[in-house]
A and B are shown apart, each in its own frame.
Chain A
Amino acid sequence: MAEKGTQTESELKTRLSLPSPRSHISRLGLPAVIVLAVVFPLFAGDYWIDVAVFWGIYVLLGLSLNIIVGEVGLFNMGHAAFFAIGSYTTAILSEQLGLSLWLLLPLSGLAAGVAGYVLARPILHLRGDYLLIVTIGLNEIVRITLLNNPWGLTGGPNGIIMLDQFRIFGYAIQRPIDFYYLVWALVAITVFVLVRLQRSRIGRCWNYVREDEIAAQAMGIDTRWAKLVAFTLGAGIAGATGTVFAAKLVVISPESFNFMESVILFCIVILGGMGSIPGVILGSAGMMVLPELLRNFAQYRMLFFGLALVLMMIFRPQGLWPSKRWTTILREGEGK
């Protein structure tokens, strides 16, 4: 039906080139951005610091989903489920066993990662849009399960109140500014790790699987393994983010993890540009910060957002800040 896109030579070159380790941004822009990020909360009011905290949380979530959707090209639209598993693991264990949040951060990540591994294993062979539907189903199953209060653990629709906070030698991280530094430090660590991963062997495997699964298999890549690693890692990071989210929000309830949340995360990755780390940061700014700037039009926000998605797909399908390695998937796709 659709004609195969013909590739020009230059297109092919872009396709093969890897991002150069020292681009303009990292030489000049990066230090400036870091200084700005450190100084910002000293001048901003609590309200805007809070906005930045949520932005950071969504950057973390977007980055975790970007591994699955962006790097490997698996359409996961149930990412809020893993985020939920992480948040609830934190809240339940903190309440029942009184564990420290520093311990719960990796534990929640582990729990969500294991859940990601177990849930993804049987469904990874599914094609694009079928996988999308299954992950939506998983998201709903997790949400309804939380709502139905199994074994009296999740508190049903009211959720759980988190009493504990992150503590550094007895100092509780409670003020917006403390959270700001905590969240963005985590973002910095995650970005660092993910950039390294992108350039590593597994990162290249992921992109290969995304571009052409059969060719990747023919080259001896265990595509199933590559996909599973991505899914587990993505779910794990989302789960660990859940700890920070629970600590920040104090009350967590199933409605924070509904299907719309997954759609927002998916759109962050798509809007920013699949597989692009700066794209995710920009995309989450578009989703979290822009609406705050346009508060007067709050009720029209989702309306415009829906419209923007359609227009983006028509006029700029590669995203706001496409990854250098971004290639033909959106133009050619894995259609027939």
Chain B
Amino acid sequence: MCRSGTDKVLPAFPIAQLICCIGLSPRTDSMALFIEQLVNGLTVGAVYSLVALGYTMVYGVMRMINFAHGDFFMIGSYLGFTLISSALIGGAIPLWLALVVLVVLAMIGVGLLGIIVERAAYRPLRKSSRLTAVVSAIGVSIFLQNAVMLIWGPRYRAYPPWAVPNIIWQVGDIYINLMQILILAVSFVLMIALYFFVQHTTVGAAIRATAIDHDAARLMGIDVDQIIRLIFLIGPALGAAAGVLLGLYYRQIHFTVGWTYGLKAFTAAIMGGIGNIPGAMVGGLLLGILEMLGAGYVSSAWKDVFVFIILILLLIFRPTGLLGERIAEKV
């Protein structure tokens, strides 16, 4: 039986360690570590934001937590894995173009899957209670996970290392790699596009109207079913983009990661105020930064625990989110 001595007691005990780090640790002097963790946090945070958008949009329009959303994200990264391992990136087209095609194809595939899932598992339950929809969503999640396990196998899959060249820049004492820049760029482009689409187009106005009141929207001539279908195209598609980006970043993918990332992204969505699109973006970035700072300064073994504690505290004390009612317009 493994039994550790007194020296091991401290690392296993987060609060004691937290106190040590704040008070004594020499690492706190180092600005470079702080900024590096900040950049790491922004990178994962951008991924969380993309996934959180799917939760928040579905919740905004349907008042339902789509428990299967994390699995759309996971399927996105598997689709990306298959596409990247196929002949797509063989040198026929430039690498950057291939990556764009890769992300777009994964988004289309998962977006279509989202529409199918909505039609098959959620639409028949639209008039029933929250619980039935939640259980149905869990059923979908279990189904998708196991379908992926049967198709791609139960073991970890790894993105090929040559997919994105490992270029590292040094800025002062800080190292930033190409993949981090790529993740930030792609997710910000997608988020800005989404924000513009929702706020400044007619269809976007229809989405916002549906979020406020289905019946009133219907009276205004909006096809609510169509809007819900659209939401289930956009949400999973954004999740898929996040999945591909994360696959390229961490390389390893597994069919169970959907739940973990789904829960974290959901935390981000709650943080920003669920139903609130800019909120989900900010919430994701904030959560990523908090998580990475926690991992850097306290202990990486406990970083998921921080996230869940944040989630629980938020739900207890501030269920409307950190951003509060100021930008409370629900989408």
Task: Give the B-binding residues of A (Cβ under 8 A).
Answer: 1-3, 75, 95, 122-123, 126, 128-130, 132-134, 136-138, 140-141, 144-145, 147-152, 155-156, 158, 160-161, 259, 263, 266-267, 270, 299-300, 302-303, 305-310, 312-314, 317, 329-336
Min CB gap A118→B, angstroms: 13
With A134-B311, A330-B129 in contact, is A303–B146 under 8 Å at CB? Answer: yes
CA distance A336 to B64 in the complex (A): 12
Known pairs A148-B12, A331-B128; list 16 more (Cβ under 8 Å): A129-B65, A130-B315, A133-B263, A137-B263, A140-B304, A144-B302, A144-B304, A270-B135, A305-B142, A309-B135, A309-B138, A310-B121, A313-B135, A317-B132, A333-B128, A333-B132
Q: Which residue of A150, A307, A317 contacts B12 across the interface (Cβ within 8 Å)?
A: A150
Residue of B nearest to A152 (CB): B4
A95 touching B129, Cβ below 8 Å: no
Q: Which residue of A150, A160, A334 contacts B130 across the interface (Cβ within 8 Å)?
A: A334
Q: Could you say which of A134, A150, A313, A336 has the most chain B C-beta atoms within 10 Å of its C-beta?
A: A313
Q: Which residue of B138, B215, B301 contacts A1 across the interface (Cβ within 8 Å)?
A: B215
Interface presence of B13 (CB below 8 A):
yes
Interface presence of B261 (CB below 8 A):
no
Count of interface residues, chain B, beta-carbon cutoff 8 Å: 54
CB-defined contacts of B213 to chain A, threshold 8 Å: 1
CB-defined contacts of A329 to chain B, threshold 8 Å: 129, 131
Q: Which residue of B1, B144, B312 contacts A160 across the interface (Cβ within 8 Å)?
A: B1
CB-defined contacts of B305 to chain A, threshold 8 Å: 140-141, 144-145
Residue of A nearest to B142 (CB): A306
CB-defined contacts of A332 to chain B, threshold 8 Å: 129
CB-defined contacts of B215 to chain A, threshold 8 Å: 1
CB-defined contacts of A141 to chain B, threshold 8 Å: 305, 308-309
B131 touching A333, Cβ below 8 Å: yes
With A152-B2, A333-B131 in contact, is A126–B316 under 8 Å at CB? Answer: yes
Please list 23 pairs of residues, one from A and one from B, whose beta carbons are closer than 8 Å in the complex, sorted by A's number.
A1-B215, A2-B126, A123-B316, A130-B315, A136-B263, A137-B309, A138-B308, A140-B308, A148-B301, A150-B13, A152-B4, A302-B142, A302-B145, A305-B139, A305-B142, A308-B139, A313-B133, A314-B121, A314-B125, A317-B128, A317-B132, A330-B132, A333-B128
With A133-B311, A263-B138 in contact, is A149–B12 under 8 Å at CB? Answer: yes
CA distance A302 to B138 in the complex (A): 12
B142 touching A152, Cβ below 8 Å: no
Residue of B nearest to A161 (CB): B1
Residues of B195-224 whose CB lies within 8 A of A = 213-215
B312 touching A134, Cβ below 8 Å: yes
Task: Give the A-binding residues of B (Cβ under 8 A).
Answer: 1-4, 8-9, 12-13, 63, 65, 120-121, 124-136, 138-147, 150, 213-215, 259, 263, 266, 270, 301-302, 304-305, 308-309, 311-312, 315-316, 319
CA distance A149 to B304 in the complex (A): 15
CA distance A73 to B122 in the complex (A): 22
Chief secondary structure at chain B's binding surface: helix
Q: Which residue of A123, A148, A307 contacts B312 across the interface (Cβ within 8 Å)?
A: A123
Q: What is the number of contacts between chain A and chain B, taking CB atoms within 8 Å?
A: 161
Min CB gap A84→B, angstroms: 15
CA distance A150 to B305 in the complex (A): 13
CA distance A336 to B304 in the complex (A): 33
A126 touching B143, Cβ below 8 Å: no
CA distance A266 to B304 in the complex (A): 23
CB-defined contacts of B140 to chain A, threshold 8 Å: 306, 310
B312 touching A158, Cβ below 8 Å: no
CB-defined contacts of A312 to chain B, threshold 8 Å: 135, 139
3 tightest A-B CB contacts, nearest first: A333-B129, A309-B139, A306-B143
CA distance A314 to B130 in the complex (A): 13
Min CB gap B142→A, angstroms: 3
Min CB gap A273→B, angstroms: 13
CB-defined contacts of A137 to chain B, threshold 8 Å: 263, 308-309, 311-312
Min CB gap A254→B, angstroms: 12
Min CB gap B213→A, angstroms: 8
With A148-B301, A148-B302 in contact, is A310–B134 under 8 Å at CB? Answer: no
A313 touching B136, Cβ below 8 Å: yes
Min CB gap A196→B, angstroms: 27
A3 touching B304, Cβ below 8 Å: no
CB-defined contacts of B141 to chain A, threshold 8 Å: 306
CB-defined contacts of B259 to chain A, threshold 8 Å: 259
CB-defined contacts of B316 to chain A, threshold 8 Å: 122-123, 126, 134
A309 touching B142, Cβ below 8 Å: yes
CB-defined contacts of A147 to chain B, threshold 8 Å: 301
B136 touching A309, Cβ below 8 Å: yes
With A259-B259, A310-B121 in contact, is A3–B127 under 8 Å at CB? Answer: yes
